[in-house]
Each structure stands twice: as C-alpha cells, then as structure tokens.
Structure 1
Amino acid sequence: MNSTQPTMKRNLVMSMLALSMAGMSLSTQAKSNSEEIQQLHQEVQELRELLSQYAGQQKIQAQHLQAVQATSAVTALPVQTPMSATQKGLGMTVGKAEVSFYGNVRADASYQAEGGSAARLYNQISTVPLKGYKESSDQFKSTLSATRLGADFKTSTKGGDVGGKIEVDFLGGPGLDTLRIRHAYVNYNDWLIGQTWSNFAVPDYMPESIDALGYVGGAVKRTPQVRHTTKFNPATNLVVALEDPKDGSSNMRLPALTARVNHKISDTAAMSLRGMVNDKRTDADNETAWGVGAGLKYEMMPGTTFKADYYHVKGDSSFVSWANSGFVVNTNKDIVATNEFDSITVGLTQQFNPQWRGTLGYGYMKADNNQDYINALADKSTANKDLWQAWGNVFYSPTKPLSFGLEYVYGERKAFGPVVDVSNNILSGTTGEDNRVSAVAIYNF
C-alpha cells in the first residue's frame, strides 16, 4: 500500500469539510443580510407614513389659517398686539414698569382697664386722663383701620433702575377709618423724593409691639422729603435729607435738615447716629430746634435680639412721638421758652421657634425741669414731667400668611400740674394711667 494515500485521503476529507463550512457561513450571512434589508424596508415605510401624516396636519392648519385671515379681512378686525399688562401672581408688568402688590388685613381689639379716649384704640400715653378727672376705664375697643395696601414699582433705564412705592392704610383723621398715605415716593440711584419714614425718627430700633403706633421712647414719623444716600463702603452710609415735619405749631420757612449715619458693626449688630436742625417760627419770633439720636440692634444669640433707641431733643415736638409742645409763646407770639427732653426705649425679642416669638419692652421720656417753660404753660395738666410704659407680647404664626398676637401694657404719665377750674379748684391728681390688654389678627399677602 502506498504510504501517501492516507495523507491524500485526509487532505481530501479536510477540504470537503472546509468547503461545507464555508457554504454554511455564506448561507447564514445571506440570511442575515436578508433580515436586515427587510427591517430597513419596514423602517423606511414607517417614516413615509409619519411624513404623510405630518403633511396632512400642515395642510389642515394652513386651511384653518386661511379661513381665519379671510374672516378678519371681511370683518376688518384690528391686528392684536401684546397686552400692556401681564399678570404675575401678586405682581404684574405695566408698560415697562414691574409692579408688585402687597398688604394685609388687620383686626385689632383691646380691653382698656384705664387709658385714653374711647375714640382711638392705639397708644395715647401723653394724654391719658389724670386720676380723678374724666377717667376712661373699663372699655372694649376694636378696629380694622390699620389694614394696609401697597405697591412697589421698578423700571429699568439706561441710567439705572427707577423705583417707587405707594402704601396706604385707614388710620387717617380723628375718627379713623379714613384712607391716608403712609408712603409715596420715587427713588433713582441715590436719591429719594416723596413721603416715607423720617430720616431722623426711624422705627428700625424700636422693640416690637402690637400697638400700631408703638410705645413711648420711640418714634413713628413719616414726612415729605428729599434725601440723598452716600455709601462709604458696604457697611457704612450717610443719609442727608430736607424734610417737612408738618409741625402745626410753627410757621415753616425752611424744611428741617436731618442726617443719619448707618453702620453695620457685624453680621449680628447694626447702629445709627442721627441729627436734626429745624427752624421754629411764629408771627413775631423764631427759634432753632435741634436733636440727636442713636439706635442699636444686636442679635445676642441665634433667635435673641436686643434693640435700643435714644433721643435728646430741644424745641421740637414734631419728630419724636408723645413729646410736649416744643415751645410756648406769650400773647404777643414771642417764644418764651422751649421744651427739652430725653427719651429711650429698650427691648428684647425671643424667637422660640418658627411659629412663636415674644418681646419684653420698656420706654421712658423725661422733660427738662425748665421753670420758664412750666410757668408759661396755660394748662399745666397737658404737659408731662415724664412718661413710661412697659409691655410684653407674644406672636403666633401657624402658617406664613397668618399671625396672631396678644399684648399687655402698663404705663403712667406725670403732669406738671393737676386739672384746675376757673376758680383754681384742683379737680385731679397729676398722674394718669395706661392699662390695656390688646390682641391682633393679621393676614399678610
């Protein structure tokens, strides 16, 4: 047997196997290619169907638009332009000005064991009846006059933003429930023109109270003014203003000049130093009134804030609340003497948690013992040697828009003299009392 035959036979078998496997591979590849071609054909068909649907929709929309245009042409409808005001919740854009509305609905109630006139619910410490004469006691009072409405405006210009504010409540007039302007001003860059908080008698450092007028030692004063702010650095600025204090006892020739330095001591402390000069005039005389003030606000620890405010004023009663008349005149309208006084208020507010907070406060005002001033008074019972009030309150806010408060205040005034009749008979003591419990409910928006 030839030795090469087995080898040739093996080679032949191997070649046949290789050809067989190659055939199978070609068959499998052909089958795979056929499936891919079929899948691609289906995808192309689906794309054609989508394009056909889209073309149909476009045709329908075009027909609808032509119908609307035809109708507009027949009825001569004007071209619609964008509205000049678009609503944004409690804000809107009017023309080029952004407007934001805010305010509250506020209900106040008070039980007065002793206090002032029944016609007014809020603080009357400087005029509460003296003991034994026409005392106003055991009274319930309520009002919604402190309800407030406001709007802030801002317009962007090439020279910077122009802003403004209008805010009103219903505390105007002796009988209340009369609309009055609280704030109305325009500001541009570092200038402000209009009515807002006095630059001298600011409420920033008064301890919190339920009483809408605050308590003795502080000042709640809004005046027409023109003022300018100079920023020295991020922590310090100087505000200078010309103000009309609306002093009915004086014939104003010049506006009052006020200045205030604000300084941020740290992230938890701030202070201000203030000064005021004001010309007081009668038909026959004039006198220069002046005053200084200082305020401090300090967060002693997270949630605990201390506030203090101090004033020393001579010859003026138009800026600091509950002061005696700034000056007295004789029958010839000559200014005989001026009143000089010191006042201070201090308080501590504790935020117990997000819903509860409370404040303890004390205020005091003392007039200088100027005998010329005292002797010139036509009625010594209407001017006070000193005033003081102490109060405590608690506020509860179950949810952000709502706030409820309860407060107790006790205070006294000591007059320069009692009430006397035409025969000089003494009708009263020299001390009056303010003893009240007040409550408030506020919905803010």
Structure 2
Amino acid sequence: MKTMMIKPLVIAVGLTMSVMANAQSSQEVEQLRQEVQQLKALVHQYAQQNQTVQANLNQLANTAVQPPVAQKASTEKRGLGMTLGNAEFNLYGNVRMDGSYQIEGGAKDMPYNQINGVALEGNAENSDRFRSTLAATRLGLDFKTQVGAEDVKGKLEVDFLGGNLDSLRIRHAYLTYADWLIGQTWSNFAVPDYMPETVDALAYAGGAVKRTPQVRYTAKFSPQTNLVVAAEDPKDNSITQRLPALTARLNHQFADNMSVSARAMGHEKRINSDEEMAWGVGLGAKYDVTPSTTLKADYYHVKGDSSFVSFANKGVAVTNLDDKGVITATSAIAAQSEFDSITVGLTQKFNEKLRGTVGYGYMSFDQDADYLAATPADKRTGVNKDLWQAWANVFYSPIKPVSLGLEYVYGERTALEAATNGSNKGEDNRINMVAIYNF
C-alpha cells in the first residue's frame, strides 16, 4: 500500500517541475494544475483505502488471538474413578451428621427411631433431650471388570452404625455376574424402594432397612417384568435355624410413571426339635403423579418373623428360658407373632434444590394370649399391640454435594400389657436434623 501511495507523488512532482521549465502557455499551465489536483485526490483516496484495510486486518488479528470462553466448572462430585489393569473402580461416600431433639419419649440414648421401645408415659422417659452422631457417615467402592463376554461387578460399602453407634459395620459387600448376585445387600423381601423418604436413617413404623447375606438370581421376562429369587440368612439372633430363608419378588413396570413389586418369604424357625414355619407377603407401589410429585406405598403381612420388617415384636415366644432369657435344652416354641403393616407417603419436588415428604406408617399385631403368657413378666410391657408414626420433612441442597434436612415426627405405641402405673401408651415426639456432604 505504501508503494502505491509514493508512485503517484513522484509522478506529480515530476510533472510540476516539467511545467515550470517548459511552460509555453497559460492554457498548458492550467491543464497541468488540474492534473495535479486529480493526482492529489487519487492519493487521498488511496490513503483512506489503506486505513480501512489496516483496520480490518487489526480486527481479524485481535479475533484470532482471543482465548475460548472457559466453561464453568461443575460443582457436582461423583466419586473418584480409576482404572487398574482391566478393572474400573469408583470411590464414593458421604460425611453425615444427624441430630435429634426428643420432645417427649425416647428410651435408648440414640438419635434414631425407637418407636417399638419408646418409654411408656411416666416410666423413665427421656424427654427434652438433644442427641447427635456422625455414625451414618458412609464410604463405598464400586468396581467392574470383564470376564469373558460378561462383566463382573461388585460393591463394598461401610458405615459406623454397628454396635453402640461407634463401630464399623458392613452395609453392602457383593459380586454380580450375569443374572447372579452373591454377597450382602438389601433383602429381596424387605426392599426400601417403596418406603417414603425420611431424615431418620432407620426409617419409621412399617418400614424395612434390612440387608442380608444372600445368593440371588434374576429372571428377566421382558424389559418391564422380572422375577428375583434368593436364599437369605436373616440373622435372627432370637432363634436357631437349619436352612436359609427363601424369598421371591416379582417386579413390573406398568408405565413410565408406575412400578409395583409383589414379594413372598418363607423361613423355618427352630428351637431344639420344635419347628414352625415363618412366612410373609408384601406389596409395594410407586406412582409418579406428575414429574415432580411421587406417591409411594408398601404393605406387609408377616407371621412368626421379626428379622425382616423393622420394629416388629419377636417372631416367636419361647418357653422354659433361664433367668437371663437364654434358651435351654427344654425350651420350645409357644406361639408366633403375626402383624400387618403399611407405609404411605407423598414426595413433592419444588425445584432443583428443594423437596419435601409427608408420610404415615402403621403396624398392628395380633393379641395372642399364648404369646403374651410365654413372654417373661418383666418383658411384657415391651410387647406391642400397635405402632404408628406420622412425619413431614424438607431437604434443601444449596449446592450439589450438600444436602440439609429437617423433619418433625410424632408417633405412639400401645403395649399389650400396662406398666405398674397403669400406662400402656408411649409417645415419640421429635425433631430430626441432618447435614450430608456427598463425594
């Protein structure tokens, strides 16, 4: 561009000198003046064009060196993934702090549900008391590797809710291959899928949070229907056993917004040579009324067992125990407990950060005179006629890894036999709180 500008200038200067040296007439001079003016205009035009082109080049250069817009980093954490050899691992867990203010009731010094043993009115109630723990803090490891044409998957998960809420315990520890599962995980009979959400880590009356060692097989009839059968060790410490419990669960998805589960359980209870069959059935349903509103309900009828559904009376009453309540060589089964239970709840998701649940749970036990008579006299106020609890909670997640929960629960238990002061009812009136950080 500079060369194009200089050339017209040189021509103009040369013409001017020629005019001064060889001017012959005023007409020639005037003509030369006009040509000079034209050349000046041409130079000015070239200068303007040069400025425009240079500005465009500068703009293109600036655009080329602009760094790309940085994407905002996600705050969500989904564990720590790694690959070793042909195996994939994912480490996950949470830090969880639970708190509970017992307005009325309470017996054990723990911040979790104890409705089946809540103190009867006027009998050593632990009212107006705050408790807290981090025992539900959890650590888990998922892993997967390929063997032949199939994946072998597994899970190992622990928390600190063992013993007196301060010792490590196994929650899940299992392997899966094709349609088989071997290890410990949620019971095939007492599944938590249809239980309304609670802040309380141990759920409420009518709920079940049972994990058992088991061998499980899943038969898939269609994408919507499958049958799961299992042999489980219910670990019922109140009785001996020769065989594992057999459980079956039929799952069906009616539509994208509704699923149901029908379940059955059978288990031999044995004291010395005395044997009785414990059994139970269950039915659960989940229905998404709207994309943000979910209804859950779960029902059980069980006879002779207390190991699967939480807060039940002991499955069997045993005769001829020693003075410490231990089974002796002459002990036998006197009677079996039988009960019905139901839980129902509605969860509403208000937005991505806030949701809430209202729920109700109820358990009703048969009033068996033989069962009560076989129970030691000092234990009879602990045998329940019915239990119920109602609760309402909210969960708030200000950022993805953090969840804060607040819950109010009120419940009552009615004992089959009254205490010495004549009271046969106990209250559970509590406020629960939880703070969870997931990683």
Partner Cα distance (1:319, 1:232) in 2:
27
CA RMSD of superposed structures (Å):
1.2
TM-score of the pair, normalised by structure 2: 0.79
For residue 281 of structure 2, the aligned residue among 276, 292, 295 is 292
Q: CA deviation at 1:89?
A: 7.1
- Runs of 4 or more, structure 1, over 4 Å off, are none
1:212 aligned partner: 201
**Does 2:260 align with 1:260?**
no
State the secondary structure of the residue aligned to 1:136.
coil
Give the aligned residue type for 1:116: G
| Residue of structure 1 equivalent to 2:334 | 336
**Structure 1 residue 427: Cα displacement:** 3.5
Deviation at 1:157, TM superposition (A): 2.0
Task: Name the structure 2 match of 1:429.
Answer: 423
Partner SS state of residue 127, structure 2: strand
CA distance in 1, matches of 2:108, 2:367: 31
Which residue identity lines up with residue 340 of structure 2 in the other structure?
Answer: D
2:278 maps to amino acid: A
- Code of the residue aligned with 1:220 in structure 2: it is V
Specify the code of the residue in structure 1 equivalent to 2:425. T
CA contact (8 A) 1:198 1:221 kept: yes
Q: What is residue 221 of structure 1 aligned with on the other side?
A: 210
**What is the match of residue 440 of structure 1?**
434
- Post-superposition CA distance 1:49-83 (Å, at most 9, x none): xxxxxxxxxxxxxxxxxxxxxxxxxxxxxxxxxxx
Identity %: 65
243-252 or 326-335: bigger deviation: 326-335
Aligned AA (2:191): V
Conservation of the 8 A alpha-carbon contact between 1:118 and 1:139:
no
What residue in structure 1 maps to residue 119 of structure 2?
129
Match of 2:359 among 353, 358, 361: 361
Q: Secondary structure at the match of 1:330?
A: strand
2:108–2:114 CA contact under 8 A, matched in 1: no
Q: Is this contact kept in 2: 1:132–1:428, CA < 8 A?
A: no
Structure 2 counterpart of 1:366, one-letter code: S
Q: Which amino acid aligns with 2:391?
A: W
Q: How far 1:168 moved relative to its partner?
A: 0.3
What corresponds to 2:418 in structure 1? 418
Aligned twin of 2:344: 346
Is 1:381 matched up with 2:417?
Answer: no
Over 3 Å counting, the alpha-carbon distance change for 1:298 and 1:254 in structure 2 is: same
Q: Give the partner amino acid of 1:444.
A: N
Work out whether residues 284 and 333 of structure 1, in 8 Å CA contact, stay in contact via their aligned partners in 2: no
Give the SS at the match of 1:385: strand
The one of 106, 109, 134 aligned to 1:144: 134
For residue 334 of structure 1, give the secondary structure of its aligned residue in structure 2.
Answer: strand
In the alignment, what sits opposite 1:371? 369
2:79–2:93 CA contact under 8 A, matched in 1: no
1:177: how far off? Answer: 1.6
Q: Once the two structures are superposed, what CA deviation does each residue of 1:206-227 show, in whole Å capped at 9, x if it has no partner?
A: 0000000110111000000000
Please name the residue that 2:161 is paired with: 171
Task: Give the aligned partner of residue 154 of structure 1.
Answer: 144
